[in-house]
Amino acid sequence: MTETTLPTDTAAAIDLLNTASTVTVLCHVQPDADTIGSGLALAMALERRGKSVQVAFSAPADLPESMGDLPGLRFLAAPHEVRQEVDLVVTVDCGSRGRLGALSDRLDFAPHTLVIDHHRSNTEYGTAHLIDAAAESTTAVIATLFDAWTVEIDADIAHCLFAGLVTDTGSFRWVRPGSHALAERLLATGIDGAAIARRLLDTHPFAWLPMLGSVLGSARLVQDAAGGQGLVYAVIETADSRGLRSEEIESVVDIVRTTAEAEVAAVFKEVESGWSVSLRAKSTVDVSLVATALGGGGHRFSAGYTATGEIGTNIAALVAALG
């Protein structure tokens, strides 16, 4: 391989993007800043190359408020507005087809589907794949793609890429060599990294505090779970989350997972269909395997799944899956 030869998957991805005239970029349900940042950055690059592009996610109806100042929001389309047939569908940060929700049918109408992701559990459901399970964020995969595709990373694109990088690395706690170099490149475009991080990660309404008091007050430690390494869990019932945003709900696991006595943390969030469960591990347990066994997926130290039925049954099932 010479220096100018691109990896096969990168070259194939660029070929698909260059060849298409109409593109739909799909983000995952319950979108986070990585999937939205990736989608909007890709849309801006595609528009510059003369493509007609839409970005969408199937649920919930509204974009999380904390992402309301990301550049490129004009590309977002409501699910019913998403074109049925396009030359290319790209999914970003979606480990499985199911993560697309009701928009997964758009994969069936497209001659080509490109999956861009960093989930270890990715099921490779496209016709082409650009997956780097070692990447910090899907926006980091997109940055590498843009370099190969000679897309200039200006401040607007950098804002979107930084949003995914800062959130998926937990404010640069889960990093690897190169993570800070990418952050430096993005910040050098003039974006306000502190303001972006504050809005995405460090801004909650006052009602967040009493919710935390109630939910954390009922957390439980199961010391003999996970082979004696311990499980700590908390339950967020509908009554706890009333009037709060997804940002407040998603924040809980980041507090619960700091428990010294437990390798694994879980937060059970009551949703319409039952429970949405977030799992975190520190260093020894691979929660992507646990989540996959329970019908979900994710990363080695951060994963999730959904479940129906009684909370007690679900806690018992998780304890059993942890071994």
93 sits near Mn ion (criterion: CB under 5 A)? yes
Spatial separation of the C-alpha atoms in residues 128 and 117, rounded to whole Å:
11
CB of 227 to Mn ion, least distance (A): 28
Which C-beta is closer to Mn ion: that of 24 or that of 139?
139
Listed ranges 33-41, 259-267, 275-283, 290-298: which one lies at the site for Mn ion (CB under 5 A) = 33-41
Q: Cβ(43)–Cβ(73) under 8 Å?
A: no
Which C-beta is closer to Mn ion: that of 215 or that of 249?
249
CB of 266 to Mn ion, least distance (A): 19
CB of 222 to Mn ion, least distance (A): 28
Compute how many residues bind Mn ion; rule: CB under 5 A: 4
Using only the alpha carbons of the chain, give its radius of gyration: 20
Q: Tokens 């929660």, residue?
A: 287
Which C-beta is closer to Mn ion: that of 161 or that of 318?
161
Q: For residues 49-61, b (16+ Cβ closer than 10 Å) or e, as one string?
A: eebebbbbbbeee
Give the residue closest to Mn ion by C-beta: 34
Residue 68: other Cβ atoms inside 10 A: 10
Candidates 168, 247, 248, 250: give the one binding Mn ion (CB under 5 A).
168
Which C-beta is closer to Mn ion: that of 24 or that of 138?
138
247 sits near Mn ion (criterion: CB under 5 A)? no
**Between helices 179-187 and 138-148, what is the axis angle to 10°?**
70
Cα 125-129-131 angle, rounded to 5 deg: 105
243: left (phi over 0), alpha (psi -120 to 50) or beta: left
Which C-beta is closer to Mn ion: that of 168 or that of 248?
168
CB of 58 to Mn ion, least distance (A): 17
The amino acid at 97: R
Listed ranges 16-24, 34-42, 107-115, 308-316: which one lies at the site for Mn ion (CB under 5 A) = 34-42
CB of 137 to Mn ion, least distance (A): 5
Which C-beta is closer to Mn ion: that of 125 or that of 233?
125
Listed ranges 54-62, 89-97, 262-270, 273-281: which one lies at the site for Mn ion (CB under 5 A) = 89-97
Q: Tokens 């070929």, residue?
A: 15
117 sits near Mn ion (criterion: CB under 5 A)? no
Partners of 267 in the beta sheet?
A: 234, 278
CB of 272 to Mn ion, least distance (A): 24
Q: Cβ(242)–Cβ(207) under 8 Å?
A: no
Query: Could you say which residues in the range 170-229 bind Mn ion, by CB under 5 A?
Result: none
CB of 16 to Mn ion, least distance (A): 21
240 sits near Mn ion (criterion: CB under 5 A)? no
Q: For residues 266-305, b (16+ Cβ closer than 10 Å) or e, as one string?
A: bbbbbbeebbbbbbbbeeebebbbbbbebebbbbebbbbb
Pairing, β 231-236 against β 220-222: antiparallel
34 sits near Mn ion (criterion: CB under 5 A)? yes
CB of 231 to Mn ion, least distance (A): 24
CB of 161 to Mn ion, least distance (A): 12
DSSP state of 204: -
Listed ranges 123-131, 165-173, 199-207, 250-258: which one lies at the site for Mn ion (CB under 5 A) = 165-173
Spatial separation of the C-alpha atoms in residues 37 and 39, rounded to whole Å:
6
Spatial separation of the C-alpha atoms in residues 12 and 121, rounded to whole Å:
22
Q: Point out which residues bind Mn ion (CB under 5 A).
A: 34, 93, 138, 168
